[in-house]
Amino acid sequence: MAKIATAVRNPAHSGKSVGGQGVALKVLEPASRLSLRARPDAVAALSKALGLTLPQKPKSSAAKAGRTALWLGPDEWLVIDEAGGDPVADCASVKGLHSAVDVSHRNVAIAVTGAHAAATISSGCPQDLSLTAFPVSAASRTILGKVEIVILRTGEDTFRVECWRSFSDYVWGFLSEAARDS
């Protein structure tokens, strides 16, 4: 008789956290993520379908009801849904030419919080993370050490760092070391 196999998904680094002086790291819960590419003529329809206005300004983001859209390029967005919705399905009804790819499990998100949060990320990220250059809700694709990351500033002292799953060991190790030094 055939055995019934049950697949159990073990998200990378799930539940990990590190607390230190002035900064805390925490691996965030899995979320739905959407890599969206679209020409300007489809943006309005996509915004309507997703229930938020896709940001048009460089280095900006828009959030509404647990869903955040990050501007990555002139025709590229990363949409993160933490409310259990399915942004890919929402885009399916849009007629305009676009590409919506589910990348939910490609990324691992790490929350960096505390007074030394910016200093911790700056230990490996060459971008200016001061509040004037990188205000709250600013978002950008950049690098940390030798890997590519996406940073979203969710508050004055809180950042969300998104990295590819296979790089998450490196990013977690890098940020943990940096948190100890900052």
Partner 1 sequence: MLLIRCPYCEEERPELEFRNAGEAHIARPTDIASISDEDFEKFFFIRSNPKGLVFERWRHVHGCARFFNAARDTVSDKFLLTYKAGEPKPDASTLHAEGGPAAWANRPPDQLNEKPKAKRSTKGEA
Rounded CA separation 34/90 (Å): 11
What's the Cα-to-Cα distance from 10 to each of 13, 41, 144, 176, rounded to whole Å?
8, 39, 25, 21
In whole angstroms, how far apart are CA 21 and each of 28, 114, 160? 20, 9, 19
Is 72 one of the binding residues for partner 1 (CB under 8 A)?
Answer: yes
Nearest to partner 1 of 83, 133 (CB atom) = 133
| Cα 133 from chain centroid (whole Å) | 19
Q: Nearer Cβ to partner 1, position 34 or 49?
A: 34
Letters for 10-49 (x = contact with partner 1 by CB under 8 A, - = none) are ----------------------------------------
Q: Of 83 and 143, which CB lies nearer to partner 1 in the complex structure?
A: 143
131 binds partner 1 (CB under 8 A): no
127 binds partner 1 per the rule CB under 8 A: yes
**Is 59 a binder of partner 1 (CB under 8 A)?**
yes
Centre a 10 Å sphere on the Cβ of residue 14 and count the other Cβ atoms it contains.
12
Closest CA to 121 of 165, 52, 175: 175
Binding of residue 135 to partner 1 (CB under 8 A):
no
176 binds partner 1 (CB under 8 A): no
Report the C-alpha gap between 34 and 167 in whole angstroms: 19
Residues near partner 1 (CB under 8 A), total: 13
Among 19, 40, 58, 155, binds partner 1 (CB under 8 A): 58
Q: How far is CA 115 from the centre of its chain?
A: 21
The answer to the question of residue 106 lying near partner 1 (CB under 8 A) is no
- Residue ranges that bind partner 1, judged by CB under 8 A: 58-59, 72-74, 76, 126-127, 140-143, 148
